[in-house]
Amino acid sequence: MKKYFVYLMMALAAFTFNACGDDDPLQEEPGTEQPETPSDPTDNPDNPDDPANPDEPSGDGNILIAYFTRTNNTGTIAERIAELTGGTLYRIETVEPYPEDYTECTEVAREQLENGTRPELSGTVENLYQYDIIFVGCPVWWGDAPMPIWSFLESESYDFSGKTVIPFCTYATTGWETTLDRIVALTPDSEHLDGFHVSGRNTNGVEDWLREIGIIE
């Protein structure tokens, strides 16, 4: 009986750990971007000053890669997409940063999701009209897209109608289907291509995916 109790406790612990998803504050170990587990800000490739997030458009002026990330799992995938397509990187950031403490971060993320809170974002994409193809990426938090993604895609500053939106996400164990579907649902007037999902920050499948959906030859 004691053995079954131990197994039950282990299962509950695993569920709690994976509640938020890869690259977000609920499912990832520091530096790997899981439910975006808050990582050490001094060693976080997702730093706003990261040169991979230029202020001015560069590369293919037709493609934008917008992404939200904390531990840089999603950021790593976004950078690989930009490398292969020549698209412009844009990091989605919130005015109020998420807590650095992992537990606090997961609690804030869950509260925002349950309450439908759209956190205020700290910047905007200039001249969104110039982009015909927009990749939108994020980690899985509590089995869904983090609320900053909702804020970004629902912003009155942007018009995604007629554009091609391509979702991608990173995750720890589950939630990728809901997250990809959420990005599609939040851009109902856009065209959509098959999304990409990966556990952690493995970029090996990115090139094949981009070829399959016809973005690169």
Q: Note whether residue 30 is domain-resident.
A: yes
123: CB partners within 8 A, 6+ apart: 93
- What tokens appear for 85 in the block? 């397509």
Distances (CA, A) of 109 to 27, 69, 145, 193: 12, 13, 10, 28
φ/ψ bin of 11: left (φ > 0), alpha (ψ from -120 to 50), beta (otherwise): alpha
Q: What 3-state class would DSSP assign to 60?
A: coil
The position carrying tokens 């197994």 is 7
**Residue 95: domain span:** 2-212
Return d(Cα 113, Cα 20) in angstroms, integer: 10
pLDDT in tens, 109-168: 999 999 999 999 999 999 999 999 999 999 999 999 999 999 999 999 999 999 999 999
pTM above 0.85, yes or no: no
Find out whether 35 and 105 touch, Cβ atoms under 8 Å: no
Please tell me which residue, 206 or 57, carries the higher pLDDT value. 206
pLDDT in tens, 32-80: 233 433 333 323 333 333 434 433 334 456 999 999 999 899 999 999 9
Would you say residue 27 has pLDDT above 80? Answer: no
Q: Note whether residue 217 is domain-resident.
A: no
Q: Note whether residue 195 is domain-resident.
A: yes
Average pLDDT over residues 201-215: 97
- What tokens appear for 188 in the block? 């109902």
How many structural domains does the chain have? 1
* CATH for 146: 3.40.50.360
- What tokens appear for 21 in the block? 């998803």
pLDDT of residue 61: 67
pLDDT of residue 60: 54
Q: Note whether residue 122 is domain-resident.
A: yes
